[in-house]
Amino acid sequence: MRYKSQSVAYWYFAVAMALFGLQLVFGLLSAAKYLGPDPLLYILPFDVTKVIHTNLLIVWVLTGFMGATYWMVPDESRTELYSTRLAYIQLGLWTAMGVTAIIGYLFRYGTGNKLLEQPLPHKIVIVICMLIFLYNIGMTIKKSGRFTTTEGVLLLGLASAAVLYIPALLHYENYTVSIYYRWWTIHLWVEGVWEMIQGGFLAYLLIRLSGADREVMDKWLYVIVGLVFIAGILGTAHHYYWVGVPSYWLPIGGFFSALEPVALVGMAMYAYYAMRRSGLAHPNNLALHWTIGSAVFTLFGAGLLGFAHTFPSVNKWTHGTLITAMHGHAAFYGAYAMIIMAMITYALPSLTRGRSEDSNSLGYWAFWLQLAGMFGMTLSFATAGIGQVYLERILGLGYLDTQLKIQIHFLMLVATGSIFAVGVGLFIYDFFRLPPRLSVDRDDPALSTQAVR
Ligand code: HEM
Ligand code: HEM
Ligand SMILES: [Fe+2]
C-alpha cells in the first residue's frame, strides 16, 4: 500500500464479503424450496428469499466496485484520496441502506420491479452515495493531475452506471412501459457500463501483475469499449421480444446482441496474451488466476451462454425459464464476482498484516472449489432448464408437473451450490483471518513488487 487512504478499501471489501456470504444463504434456501416440503412457506416464501438473494448480490458487487476503485485510483493517480472521511460516510450510509432494504423485503416493503425492488427512500440514498463517491474520486484525480486511460474507462463506467439508475427512480403504471425502461438500467448495466468497470480493473491488474505494456493495454481497452457500445446498446432489444413492444425489435435484438460476445472474446484474448508475455513472474499468482479466470469465465457465462438463448427463435421457448438462471449465474459470477475477488486478492497482502505476497494453498482451494461449484451449478440449471423447456413449453405439461420431473437437477444444484459455498467460505475466512493494516509500513511485502508503472 503506497498511500494510507487506500486502507478504506479494506472496510468496503469487508462489507462486500459479509454480504456475499449472506447472499449464498438465501441462494441455498431458494434452491431448497424447489425440493420441498417447505417449512418456511408462510414466513419466508420463495419470492422473498429470491429478492433478498439477488439484491444482496447487487449491493455486495457495487460495494466491491467502490472499494476496488478507492484502492486503484490513489495508485493510478499517485496521490492520497481527496477525503477518507467522505469515503467512510459513504460506506456507512450505503451499508445502512443495504441492510434496511433487506429487512424491508422480509416485510414485503419493496417496489416489485425485478432487481430494482429498492423502495424510493432507499433509491434516493443510493443516488446520494453515488454522488459522494463520484465527487470524492473526481476530486482525487483533479488534485493529482494524473489521469490514466485505465482510470478513465473505470470512471466512465461508474458515472454511466449512476446515470442509468435514473430510469429506475421513476414509476410507471403500464407494465409494458415499466419493463421497457427497466432494461435501460439492468441490461445497460450488465452488458454495457459494468463491462467498462470490469475492463478498467482488468487492465489495471494485468499491468501490475503481468507487467503488460500500458500503451498496448490502453489500445485493447479502447477496442473493447467500442465493441461493447456498438453491440450492447441496441442489444437491449433482446429483452423486447415478448413484452408488448413493436415487432421490429426482434431482428434488431437478435442481430446486435449476437455481436456482444465479440467484445468478450477480445477481453479474454487480451488477458491471456498479457499473461503469456509475463511468464508468471509476479509472486501473487493467485490474483492472476482470478484476473484471467474472470475474463475466461465471462466469455463462457455471458458470451457463450448468453448467445445460446439470444435469438428470438430460441428465446421464444427459453424466456424466463431456468435457462435464464443458468446464464445469469455464470455471467454475473465470471464478470463481476470474480473481478472483485481478483482486486481483493491483489490488494490483500498490503491491506492486512502478516500476509506474504506468495499465494497460499487456502487461496487456491477457495478459487478451485468456487470454480468447480459454479460450473456444476451452471450445468444443474442448464439441465433443469432444458427439461423444463421441453416438457412445459414444447409438450405443454403444467408448471408444477414439470417441476416434479426435474427435481434431480435441483438436488444437483444444492450439492454443487454447497461446494461453491465452501469455496466462498474459505475465501471469506482467508480475508478475515489477519488484522487490517491501516498505515503505510516498510514491512508491507507489496511495496517492492507492486512496481509503479
Ligand atoms: C457480464 C455480462 C452479463 C450478465 C451479468 C448477464 C446477466 C443476465 C441476467 C441476470 C439475466 C436475467 C435478467 C432478468 O430476467 O431480470 C439475463 C438475461 C438475458 N441475457 Fe444476459 N448477462 C450478460 C451478458 C449477456 C450477453 C453477452 C448476452 C447475449 C449474447 C446475454 C443474453 C441474455 C438474454 C437473451 C437474456 C434474457 C433471458 C430471458 O429471455 O429470460 N446476456 N442476463
Ligand atoms: C450457493 C450458491 C447459490 C445457489 C444455490 C443459488 C440459487 C439460486 C436460485 C434457486 C435462484 C432462483 C432461480 C429461479 O428464479 O428459479 C437464484 C437466482 C439468482 N441467482 Fe443465485 N444461487 C447461488 C449463488 C449465486 C451467485 C454467486 C450469484 C452471482 C454471482 C447468483 C446470482 C443469481 C441471479 C442473478 C439470480 C436471478 C436469476 C434469474 O432471475 O433468472 N447466485 N439463485
Ligand atoms: Fe441483456
Which mutation among 245, 257, 327, 338 tests ligand 1's pocket best, with the greatest number of atoms within 8 A of CB? 327
As a whole number, mean pLDDT of residues 378-403 equals 98
Q: What is the pLDDT of residue 357?
A: 86
What single-letter DSSP state applies at residue 435?
Answer: P
As a whole number, mean pLDDT of residues 45-66 equals 97
Q: What is the pLDDT of residue 211?
A: 79
Indicate the pLDDT class of residue 284, thresholds 50, 70 and 90. very high
| Residue of 84, 218, 106, 64 whose CA lies nearest to 151 | 218
Secondary structure (H, E, C), 277-328? HHCCCCCCHHHHHHHHHHHHHHHHHHHHHHHCCCCHHHHHHHCCCHHHHHHH
Q: What is the pLDDT of residue 359?
A: 79
Using CA positions, which residue lies closest to atom 16 of ligand 2?
Answer: 322
Give 217-263 pLDDT, tens digit per residue: 889 899 988 998 889 999 999 999 999 999 999 999 999 999 999 99
Is residue 67's pLDDT more than 60?
yes
Radius of gyration of the chain (CA): 21
Residue 352 backbone dihedrals phi, psi, to 5 degrees: -125, 160
Q: Which ligand is nearest to the CA of 241?
A: 1
CB 81 within 8 A of CB 67: no
Give 328-376 pLDDT, tens digit per residue: 999 999 999 999 999 999 999 999 998 988 878 999 999 999 999 999 9
CB 122 within 8 A of CB 113: no
Using CA positions, which residue lies closest to atom 6 of ligand 2?
Answer: 27
Ligand 3 centroid to residue 379 C-alpha, Å? 21
Using CA positions, which residue lies closest to atom 10 of ligand 2?
Answer: 31
Q: Is the CB of 327 under 6 A from ligand 1?
A: yes
Give 156-191 pLDDT, tens digit per residue: 999 999 999 999 999 999 999 999 999 999 999 999
Q: What is the pLDDT of residue 123?
A: 97
Ligand 1 centroid to residue 238 C-alpha, Å? 9
Q: CA neighbours within 13 Å on the CB side: how many for 120? A: 3
Alpha-carbon gap, residue 155 to 237, rounded angstroms? 26
Q: What is the pLDDT of residue 279?
A: 65
CA angle 303/203/337 to nearest 5° reads 55
Q: What is the pLDDT of residue 450?
A: 55
Alpha-carbon gap, residue 212 to 273, rounded angstroms? 9
Ligand 3 centroid to residue 328 C-alpha, Å? 10
Ligand 3 centroid to residue 279 C-alpha, Å? 36
Ligand 2, CB cutoff 6 Å, lining residues: 24, 27-28, 30-31, 50, 53-54, 57, 324-325, 328-329, 332-333, 337, 413, 417, 420-421
Q: What is the pLDDT of residue 36?
A: 82
Amino acid at 82: Y
CB 80 within 8 A of CB 9: no
Is residue 107's pLDDT more than 80?
yes
Q: What is the pLDDT of residue 275?
A: 85
What single-letter DSSP state applies at residue 41?
Answer: T
Which mutation among 190, 307, 318 tests ligand 1's pocket best, with the greatest number of atoms within 8 A of CB? 190
Is residue 210's pLDDT more than 90?
no
Is residue 385's pLDDT more than 60?
yes
Q: pLDDT over 90 for what percent of the chain?
A: 87
Ligand 2 centroid to residue 150 C-alpha, Å? 31
**Domain locations in the chain?**
1-147
- Mean pLDDT estimate for the chain: 95
The three-class DSSP label of residue 113 is coil
The three-class DSSP label of residue 445 is coil
Q: What is the pLDDT of residue 281?
A: 76
Alpha-carbon gap, residue 332 to 106, rounded angstroms? 24
Give 221-231 pLDDT, tens digit per residue: 999 889 988 89
Q: Is the CB of 307 under 6 A from ligand 1?
A: yes
Alpha-carbon gap, residue 63 to 279, rounded angstroms? 33
Burial of residue 214, with CB atoms counted within 10 A of its CB: 0-12 exposed, 13-18 middle, 19 or more buried? middle
Is residue 382's pLDDT more than 80?
yes
Using CA positions, which residue lies closest to atom 4 of ligand 2?
Answer: 27
Alpha-carbon gap, residue 264 to 213, rounded angstroms? 20
CB-based burial, 292-307: b 16+ in 10 Å, e otherwise: bbbbbbbbbbbbbbbb
Ligand 1 centroid to residue 306 C-alpha, Å? 6
Q: What is the pLDDT of residue 449?
A: 63
Q: Which ligand is nearest to the CA of 299?
A: 1
Q: Hey, what's the cell of 213?
A: 505494456
Q: Which atom of ligand 1 is nearest to the CA of 238?
A: 35
Is residue 31's pLDDT more than 80?
yes
Is residue 112's pLDDT more than 90?
no
Q: Which atom of ligand 1 is nearest to the CA of 241?
A: 40
Indicate the pLDDT class of residue 317, thresholds 50, 70 and 90. very high
Q: What is the pLDDT of residue 84?
A: 97
